[in-house]
Amino acid sequence: MIDGGEIKVTTPLSLEFRERASAGDRLLITGRLVTARDQAHRRLVEALEKGERLPLELKGEIIYYAGPTPAPPGKAAGSVGPTTSSRMDPYTPRLAAEGIAACIGKGPRSPEAKRALAENGVLYLVGIGGAAALLGSRVRALRLLAYEDLGPEAVYELEVEDFPVLVAYDLKGGDVFAHLARW
Amino acid sequence: MGGWRVLELSRITEAVEELAVKASLELPPDVEKALAKARERESSPRGRYALDMILENAEVARREGLPLCQDTGMFHLYVDLGEGVALPSGFRSAVDEGMRRATRRVPLRSSMVDFPLGERRNRGDNTPVHVHVGRGGPEGGARLTLLAKGGGSENATRLFMLLPGEGEGGVRRAVLETVRAKGAQACPPLVVCAGAGGDAEEALELALRGLLRPVGERHPREPLARLEEELLEEVNATGIGAAGLGGDTTALDVHLEEAPTHIACLPVGVVLGCHALRRSTLLL
C-alpha cells in the first residue's frame, strides 16, 4: 500500500475502517485528535481506577501522544509531532478498554500494550517523530480540553486536515516494526 | 598580567537567545545534506516516506518559523574560551536569561520540570541551560555552541563500565547494543556517539560532545576513524531504518571520542542524537 498513495480518512474512525486497515497503509486524517502524554495518561488512569468522572469522553477518540509548542502569533498551532509511545504502554490497556479508536505515537510498543490494542479494536498509528513543524502546519484549530496546569502536557483537542500517519499495528496482527524483533 | 578580556553579560544573553532561536528553527547544513544523500540512496519505500517527511519538515520549519520538533529539547551551551578571556560573575544567570527570551520569542515548548520524582512541575522557561566550559576558542574571544537535545533520544543514553581488555570489541558491542535496544525510539536516522575513557562522567560528556562534530567528519586518529566507518556500516546493517520503519538509513554517522583513563578502567558512554540534530555556533 505504501507506494499506492495515501488513503484519506475522516474522524471518527469506524470499526469497519479499522478492521480493513493494514500495517503500512499511509493515512491522511481530517478531523479531531486529542493529545495526551505521560502525565495526562497518569491522571486519566488514576481517575478511572478511583471511579471518578473523566474530564473528557474517550470513546471513539484518536489519542495523540504529543505535547505541542505554543502557537506563534497568527498561527493555529505550533509544532506538534509524536512522542515515544512505549512510555504510555503501562496505561494503554486501561485506555484501550475505554473504547478509544486509535492512538498516534512513534516507535514500537510492549507486547502487553500491543495485545490490548488489538483485543479492543484500537489501531496503532505512527507519525514521523521529529516532523513536528510539518505536522503542526496541518492543524487548523487547537483547544484546551483538560489539565491546564500541565502546560504542554495538558489535554488539547486538535482539528487537523490531511494529517499524515502510517498504520503501525493493524487489527490482523500486521506490524511495521516486525523487523525490530530479530534480536 | 593585564589585558584580560571579560565577556559582557548582555552580549552573552543576546548570543544565547540568537543561538537557541536559530538551532530550534534551522537544521544545520551538514545534517540536512546528509539526510538528502540518505534519501537518494534509500531502497525501502517506508524509509523513503520517513526521509521525505523529515526533509519537508526542515523546509516547513524554516519557512514558517516553527520549531523543527515539538520537543525543543534540553539545552547545552559549550563555551570554548580563547587565551586571555574570562567569564564574568553572573555568567550562568545571563545564559538562562537568553534561554528565557528565546522560549518566549519562538515560542519554544517548555520541557523542563522541577521535582522530577513527584510533582514534575513545569518550570516554564527551559532553564537551566547545562553549561560546559572549556578551552580552545579563538585568541581573545570565545566560541559558543548551543545544542538542543530531545528527551526521546536522551532516554536512549547508556553507560558501560567495560574491562580494560575489552578494548575496541567492547566499544563495538556497547554501540550496537544501545542502537538495537533504543535506536528505533530515538528518532533515527541517528548520529551515534561514543566516548571512551576518562571516568563515568567524562565518558558521557565526550559522547555528547560528539554531536558537535560535523556529520561526515572523521576522527583525526586513524584507528578511531576506521572504527567509526566500520560501526556506521554495522549500525546501518541493523535495518532499523528511518523512524524505525526499516531501511538502509539507521544512522547518518558514528562519532567516537577518547580521553585518558585509569589503568583499571574503560568507561564507554553512548549517546544517540536524533535526526533533528540541533546545534548552532557563534564567536564572541
Q: Is B64 in Cβ contact with A75 (below 8 Å)?
A: yes
CA B194 to chain A, closest CA, distance in angstroms equals 22
Give which of A7, A134, A147 to mutate to test B binding, by max B Cβ within 10 Å: A134
Q: Cα separations (Å) of A147 from A28, A84, A119, B20? A: 28, 21, 29, 29
β-strand partners of B102? none
A146: alpha, beta or left? (left if phi > 0; alpha if psi -120 to 50)? beta
Chain A residues near residue B71 by CB distance under 8 angstroms: 67, 81, 83, 132
Q: Show which of residues 71-90 on chain B sit within 8 Å of chain A, judged by CB atoms.
A: 71-72
Which member of A75, A107, A150 has the closest CB to residue B184? A107
Chain A residues near residue B72 by CB distance under 8 angstroms: 69
> Which is higher by pLDDT, A1 or B36?
B36
Closest chain A residue by Cα to residue B113: A150
Whether residue A107 contacts residue B185, with contact meaning beta carbons closer than 8 Å, is answered with yes
Q: Is B68 in Cβ contact with A79 (below 8 Å)?
A: yes
Chain A residues near residue B122 by CB distance under 8 angstroms: 150-153
pLDDT tens profile A57-110: 999 999 999 999 999 999 999 999 999 999 999 999 999 999 999 999 999 999
CA A97 to chain B, closest CA, distance in angstroms equals 25
**Euclidean distance between CA atoms A100 and A25, whole angstroms:** 20
Chain B residues near residue A80 by CB distance under 8 angstroms: 70
* Local confidence band at A115 (pLDDT 50, 70, 90 cut-offs): very high
Report if residue A178 sits inside a domain. Answer: no
CA B110 to chain A, closest CA, distance in angstroms equals 7
For A128, the grid coordinates are 514521523
Positive or negative, the Cα torsion across B44, B50, B55, B59?
positive
Q: Is B111 in Cβ contact with A131 (below 8 Å)?
A: no
Which member of B70, B120, B275 has the closest CB to residue A79? B70
Whether the per-residue pLDDT at A1 is higher than 90: the answer is: no
Which member of A26, A80, A106 has the closest CB to residue B49? A26
Report if residue A100 sits inside a domain. Answer: yes
For B104, the grid coordinates are 518566549
Closest chain B residue by Cα to residue A3: B45
Whether the per-residue pLDDT at A45 is higher than 50: the answer is: yes
Q: What is the mean pLDDT of residues A33-47?
A: 97
Which member of B60, B107, B155 has the closest CB to residue A70? B107
Which member of A128, A151, A177 has the closest CB to residue B122? A151
Which member of B69, B106, B180 has the closest CB to residue A81? B69
Whether the per-residue pLDDT at A2 is higher than 60: the answer is: no
Chain A residues near residue B23 by CB distance under 8 angstroms: none
Q: What is the mean pLDDT of residues B145-163?
A: 97
* Local confidence band at A181 (pLDDT 50, 70, 90 cut-offs): confident
pLDDT tens profile B213-252: 999 999 999 999 999 999 999 999 999 999 999 999 999 9
For B109, the grid coordinates are 515548548
CA B143 to chain A, closest CA, distance in angstroms equals 28
Q: Under 8 Å CB-to-CB from B2, ≥6 apart: which residues?
A: none
* pLDDT value at residue B49: 96
Which of B170, B16, B218 has its CA nearest to residue B101? B16
Whether the per-residue pLDDT at B1 is higher than 70: the answer is: no
Give which of A2, A22, A69 to mutate to test B binding, by max B Cβ within 10 Å: A69
* pLDDT value at residue A5: 84
* Local confidence band at A4 (pLDDT 50, 70, 90 cut-offs): low
pLDDT tens profile B105-150: 999 999 999 999 988 999 999 999 999 999 999 999 999 999 999 9
**Euclidean distance between CA atoms A106 and A124, whole angstroms:** 9
Q: What is the domain extent for residue A53?
A: 2-68+78-161
CATH assignment of the domain containing A82: 3.20.130.10
- Is B152 near chain A, with CB under 8 Å? yes
Whether residue A156 contacts residue A145, with contact meaning beta carbons closer than 8 Å, is answered with yes
Q: Is B57 in Cβ contact with A132 (below 8 Å)?
A: yes
State which H helix or E strand residue A168 sits in. Answer: strand A155-169
Domain count, chain A: 1
* pLDDT value at residue B3: 82
pLDDT tens profile B26-66: 999 999 999 999 999 999 999 999 999 999 999 999 999 99
Positive or negative, the Cα torsion across A104, A139, B113, A44?
negative
* pLDDT value at residue B171: 98
B/e letters for B217-249, b = 16+ CB within 10 Å, e = fewer, are ebbeeeebeebbeebbebbbebebbbbbbbbbb
Which member of B57, B152, B246 has the closest CB to residue A131? B57
Q: Is B222 helix (H, G, I), strand (E, B) or coil?
A: helix
CA A87 to chain B, closest CA, distance in angstroms equals 10
